Amino acid sequence: MDYNEFNTILKNEKLNNICFDENNLLCNTVYLIKKENDFLVYTTDKRAAVFGKVRTFQNEEEAYNNVLKRLRAF
């Protein structure tokens, strides 16, 4: 899956609790942060604190799948 397909899924399923900017902490949000060659994925709770596992992926598609799994769980 590439970014365009990922973005289409987000729109079609109305999954909007996602953020790409780690400097902007929001409540109940899934973060997808690109770092050089890695992708960080984590979730925040109702107090905007990170909870659960912070996952690091080297594969873009695996990161997108993890983000979708977390968003769908909300």
In this prediction the pTM is: 0.93
The predicted-structure confidence for 23-65, as pLDDT tens digits, reads as follows: 988 999 999 999 999 999 999 999 999 999 999 999 999 999 9
pLDDT grade for 18, boundaries at 50, 70 and 90:
very high
For residue 19, pLDDT over 90 is answered with yes
Distance CA 59, CA 26 (A): 25
* CA dist list (Å): 35 to 12, 19, 28, 39: 27, 14, 22, 6
Provide the CB-side half-sphere exposure for 60 (13 A, CA).
9
pLDDT of residue 74: 85
CA 61 and chain centroid, separation: 12
Whether 38 and 49 have beta carbons less than 8 Å apart is answered as no
Residue 36 is given by DSSP the state T
